[in-house]
């Protein structure tokens, strides 16, 4: 067992590389992995300026006014997510997978950036902002398709964005929200559309949870990347690993609620830490192989 360390110096990264190099690693990623792509997190420095509380499932389904407010904010916020590009941390994770060192990837993020970097078979614990579901008939459509419909319904909606949030919405003035026109399901007219993500107060689908537990239980190492582990949705996997005696390593900027269970903690920028990790487990790898082609589209 390696004593927990809270820096990103060469000795610490060497210790991390020694843990990862033997393979069978399961990655659990959180919002902190995507901050270098310009997407704010929930509880770190980039999430500190949020003016409004995240939407809950109960409010979204039970309050038409709140639903309009969400879609007005999310309509503009989606553009930030859609423009985001996978960063060096995402590319490093994909490279670790190509090297055969990962048993699986579980992400709490809803931005699709793991897949944009080339990762495969990612369990999206909380769903994806790139999809929209009808709560009445279950029809799925792409967010790009809905974006086009909303643009057509709101050709002059040019509200001033007050702030961008981690869950793909923005803060707007109340007067701007009142001007926004929603659209409904085209398969069952009147059906309520919702991003295919797990809202606060909503239950993560049982099959995703079980698939994630199965990966963790067969892992040799659980590697947590960019998650504060504040909510049980992610922390439960750390608890399960600890109960089974599976080592846990955490790379994050700042302390987490899982640090007490970690064999190793690394406090530092995820892009640079993970790029260096790949270099150490795969010496021939070049920076370009990890960072991906310049200007690559999602």
Q: Are 209 and 12 in contact (CB under 8 A)?
A: no
The token duo for 63 is 């309050």
The token duo for 268 is 């530092």
42 Cβ partners below 8 Å, 6+ apart? 31, 54, 166, 167, 228, 230
Tell me the residue ranges of DSSP E strands in the chain. Answer: 25-29, 102-107, 122-124, 127-134, 140-142, 163-164, 170-171, 193-197, 221-225, 248-252, 264-267
Q: Which of 91, 114, 126, 136 is catalytic?
A: 126
Whether 136 is catalytic is no
Pairing mode, strands 127-134 and 122-124: unpaired
Distance CA 73, CA 170 (A): 5
Closest to 20 measured CA to CA, from 249, 243, 185: 249
The token duo for 169 is 């919405």
Annotated catalytic sites, by residue? 126
């Amino acid at each position: 067992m390696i004593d927990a360390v809270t820096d990103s110096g060469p000795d610490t990264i060497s210790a991390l590389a020694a843990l990862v190099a033997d393979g069978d690693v399961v990655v659990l990623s959180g919002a902190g992995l995507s901050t270098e792509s310009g997407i704010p997190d929930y509880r770190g420095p980039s999430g500190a300026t949020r003016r409004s509380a995240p939407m809950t499932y109960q409010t979204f389904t039970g309050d038409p006014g709140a639903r309009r407010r969400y879609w007005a904010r999310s309509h503009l916020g989606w553009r930030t997510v859609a423009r985001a590009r996978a960063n060096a941390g995402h590319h490093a994770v994909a490279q670790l997978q190509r090297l055969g060192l990962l048993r699986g990837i579980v992400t709490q993020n809803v931005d699709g950036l793991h897949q944009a970097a080339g990762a495969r078979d990612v369990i999206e614990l909380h769903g994806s902002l790139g999809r929209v579901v009808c709560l009445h008939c279950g029809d799925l459509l792409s967010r790009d398709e809905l974006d086009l419909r909303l643009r057509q319904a709101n050709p002059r909606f040019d509200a001033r964005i007050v702030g961008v949030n981690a869950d793909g919405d923005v803060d707007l003035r109340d007067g701007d929200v009142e001007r926004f026109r929603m659209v409904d399901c085209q398969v069952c007219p009147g059906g309520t559309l919702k991003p295919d993500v797990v809202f606060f107060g909503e239950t993560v689908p049982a099959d995703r949870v079980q698939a994630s537990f199965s990966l963790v239980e067969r892992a040799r190492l659980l590697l947590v990347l960019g998650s504060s582990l504040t909510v049980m949705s992610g922390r439960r996997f750390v608890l399960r690993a600890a109960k089974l005696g599976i080592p846990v390593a955490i790379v994050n900027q700042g302390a987490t609620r899982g640090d007490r269970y970690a064999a190793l903690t690394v406090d530092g920028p995820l892009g640079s830490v993970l790029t260096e990790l790949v270099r150490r487990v795969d010496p021939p790898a070049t920076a370009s192989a990890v960072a991906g082609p310049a200007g690559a589209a999602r």
